[in-house]
Structure formats: structure tokens, C-alpha cells
Structure 1
């Protein structure tokens, strides 16, 4: 088994004078003493980005943000996406509201990376808690570079040459009440490497997930199902995870290229209301030797 690498083994990343408190040796850190809605936050963006690359997911507490401030903060990191589940008449289409309660049990309780069904999946997601249950509804995050490193050398070598198909209809056909063929007209299934290279750190990460990956090309159905199940299970290793307990006003900003997440749906029938703004990314690739 590979030795557990620490986030500080990443390339030199200047986090300046930010008050950063790591959550585990593998992934996650809370950043204290910063108001994401303040005008001078723009001066800290390079340091915040460096913290994101080093820790995979970063958290902020007590953020009283309007939707406009939430959007403005996200725009510092790139162009924003509009999710197909966002109502067309919503005032701020960049904000995806994820609300569950007595009539809607949470459905995000599987390991996944956001919108891998896009040709250019997202760089990162910024999730703000508006209303949370007294207990429950935590989100877990897993470092998928460490998941890759814990594969055997032979398995890493085999997976590096494979391509997987990601399909929006696996999740959103039912949620949006549309036939897969209708969704595919605008969002056709996409091919991505099973192991992708992070475009900023150069680290390889496992890039298949239970939500959107349909199969691995070139393998039989049985082989594909077996290998995907094996790779999915790597995220469930507690030694490469952190777990975040939400409070109203908490913010999580995660790197979809580096980690996967799972939202525990253990709070039903209590209410949990979250708002997500997502930053567009680039086309995944694998480059041997990165």
C-alpha cells in the first residue's frame, strides 16, 4: 500500500497569512478570519486558490452572503456554469438550490464529482448552507489522488490506459422528468480518462463516480462493472477523507478535479437548504509522468 502523502507535499503554494487549520492529514482545511462578501477579499484570491489546491476542499464559517455576493466570490476563480436543474425563471441562474425536507429525502448520498457528464466538467463547487438540521446532513470528502496512489502499481498502469463514459441521464432523467434521449440532445454522453491529470498540480486522480459513470470502454459488461465497483470503493477509505458538519452560514469550496464528495442523507424528515455556485473547468486528460 502506498504511503499516505500529506497535502503539503503538493507543489509550492503560497497561502500567505491566511489562518488555515487542516482537518485531516489527507484532505480538508478550515480558513478562519475572512469575510467572503467583503470587497477586500479579492486581494486574498491567490492565497485561497493555493489553499484549495493544497487541501482539496476548504471551509469557511459564519458567512452571511447574499446570492450576489456568493456569485461574485465564485467569479474570482473562473466562468460560472448554469445547471440544467435550475429553474428558468430564477433571478440568479448561477445559483443551484438543493433543498430536502419532509417531502424530499436527500439523494446526493453517493460518492461523486459534480457534472462529470459535461465535456468540460467543473473546476470547483462553492456550497453555502442556508438552513441545516440540528444534527445530521454532514458532507464527506475523499482525496482521489491518494485513492489512486493506494492502487497497486499494476492496477494503476492498467487504469491509466482506459476511458469511461459519463451520462447525465443516469441521475437527471428521473429528477427532471425527461427521457434520456431528450437530455442527450443537449448533453450527449462524454468520454473521460479513468485516471485524469490535475491541470494545476499535475497529480493523477481516479475520475469515475457512482453517479454519472455508465461503463468503461473496451471491457466486457462484467469486467466494466467489476472494475468500476473496485474504483468506486476507493473513496470509502476513512484515511483519505474528512467530514464536515454544517452550520447555517458555512461554506465549502471543493476541487472537483481532485476529490469526490458524499452528502449524508441521515436527517430525513428534517429540512436542509443549500445553495451551490459552480465554476467551469476544462476537458479532462491523462498525461503519463505528470
Structure 2
């Protein structure tokens, strides 16, 4: 596959006065240190937000938080998002307990395919916040892919073509009736399949403009994007398959190796993510919150 050189800026950090930022790759992603998320000034939080806009995903290194402290921190980014097919904590439906026990020996993890979160919603989440409570001694990393670079490295003619297209997003591949058996392999989470998963269809542009940065990104989801409006399956499938391969090309990806207590925050509007299931026999425990977003637009 020919990958054109990106014209956008690199992943180099800008100068900050209140936080320390260290990129994890040349494409996207950065670790943030030197902050206490339970005692953040408005100025420090603003710098975290700036780093998130610059690097698409940030990983705040620190100590393990209580669920209440994680909620307070997450609420600074905006209203909590909806999680339509996953049962959250009692009294806290917006907090998902994402865990795999050491006794679970099938190589299946929650969200174990390239995707952005809940793109089948009318207003998909802007951010996902994931906090590491317990991590395996090795493995369990998360990969990320940069939608800006994927878009910017396409030919001008192809970009123009995609900008006129509308994608169809559905929850069926992840949570339809046919997924009951697969989702049942995830033993320690309550996942609801069936219902309106196959009929819940949303239309979003294949290319979206980020409301904060003004940059355009590919907005294709290998799990939830099921077609292109006005095209039949034989016409749309090759386009979507190419875009999924292109966006997840190694030139556009970064890998985060989890540390206990780390908080990952990523922007679903411009990146994909993929958790790796390579830690059989070890426990991994996370808490996840999504932050509500806006309806995608070109």
C-alpha cells in the first residue's frame, strides 16, 4: 500500500508550564506526568485539554483513584455519555467495570477489534476515559490509530470523493442477535445483545471536521460502519475495507503500555483504538467513562 507523506505537524509537544508531556510515538499519543488529577487548577486542566487536542490520546500517570474521584475528574470534560449495551456499576450506569480475570482463558476481550466508541449513536462520545486499577505484568497494551493522518495522506481526488459520502453506522456487528455467543465469552461484564441493535442506524459523514482543532479526519469504524448511503454492499464494501486498512496502517498508529494508576483519555472523533488480548492467566481491571459529544459534521 502506498502511504503518502503527511503534511500535518508532527507529534512533538509544545511548551507547558504546569504539566510534563512526553510523546509515545511519532504519530500520536503522549504521557502526562507531574499532575494530581484530584487537585487540578483550571490552568492545569486547560493544559491537559490542549495536550489532548494536540496528541489525540493522552495518558496521565499517577496513583489509583476511587470511582468517585474518577467521576469528578471525568466530569470536567463534559456530560457523561450513554453506554447503550453495557451494564454499568449500580447507581452509576455511566461507569463501566472492564475486567478480565486470570481464570478466563479465552483470547477474547471487551472491544477487541479496531473501533471508535459508539459511532452508531446520533451523538457519539467525544472522549473515552479509561483508568487502570490492576494490570498484568506484561501484555494488555492498547493500540491507537490517527484519523487525521489517514485522511491527510489520501490523494486530493479521493479526499474530495469521500467528503461527499455519508456512512451508515449500526450496532448489529457488535451487539446484534448473532453476537450473543461471542459476547458471552466475556464472563465478568453484563453485555446486552439483540433488541434494537440491528435497526439502530445512524448516518454520519465519512470525513468529519473536529470542532476543537478544525482539522478533518476519516470517520470510519471497522466494527460499526456497515455501508455508504446510496451505494449497494458490493459498491461500498471495497471502499470501507480500504479505508479501514488504510487508517490502521502501522504508519498511523501508536501503542500504549499500561502502568497501574494511569488514566487514558482519547478522542473518538479523530482516532480508533484496539485493546490487545495477550495476557491469559493474568488479571486486568479498568474503569471506563465516556464523555458526550456532538453530531458529526463535515
Q: Judge same fold: TM > 0.5, yes or no.
A: yes
Structure 2 counterpart of 1:87: 87
Compute the TM-score of the two structures, normalised by the length of structure 2. Answer: 0.87
Matched with 2:157 is 154
| Structure whose residues are more often helix by fraction | 1
SS at match of 1:58: strand
- Per the alignment, residue 38 of structure 2 pairs with 37
Residues 62, 189 of structure 1: CA spacing in aligned structure 2 closer, same or farther, 3 A cutoff?
Answer: same
* Deviation, structure 1 residue 107: 4.1
1:128 touches 1:274 (CA, 8 Å); kept in 2? yes
> Which of the residues 123, 140, 143 maps onto 1:140?
143
Q: How far apart are 1:82 and its partner, in Å?
A: 3.4
Q: Does 1:191 pair with 2:203? A: yes
Q: Deviations over 1:33-71 (max 9, x none)?
A: 111122x34442211111100110001123321111111
Cα RMSD (Å): 2.2
1-side partners of 2:126 and 2:281: how far apart? Answer: 32
Q: Unmatched 5+ residue regions in structure 1?
A: none
The counterpart of 1:179, out of the listed 194, 199, 203, is 194
8 Å CA contact retained: 1:129, 1:275: yes
1:266 to 278, 291, 296: 278
Alignment-derived partner of residue 96 in structure 1:
96
C-alpha spacing 1:150/1:54, structure 2 compared with 1 (3 Å): same
C-alpha separation between the residues in 2 aligned to 1:98 and 1:167? 23
Instruction: State the number of aligned residues.
Output: 280
Residue 88 of structure 1: how far off its partner (Å): 6.3
Distance 1:27 1:244, change over 3 A: same
Cα distance, 1:16 vs structure 2: 4.1
Q: Which runs of 5+ in 2 are unaligned?
A: 184-190
Shift of 1:270: 2.7
Distance 1:32 1:9 in 2: 16
The structural deviation recorded for 1:86 is 3.9
Task: Give the alignment's TM-score, normalised by structure 1.
Answer: 0.89
Q: C-alpha distance in 2, partners of 1:9/1:138?
A: 22
2:84 alignment partner, SS class:
coil
Shift of 1:238: 2.0
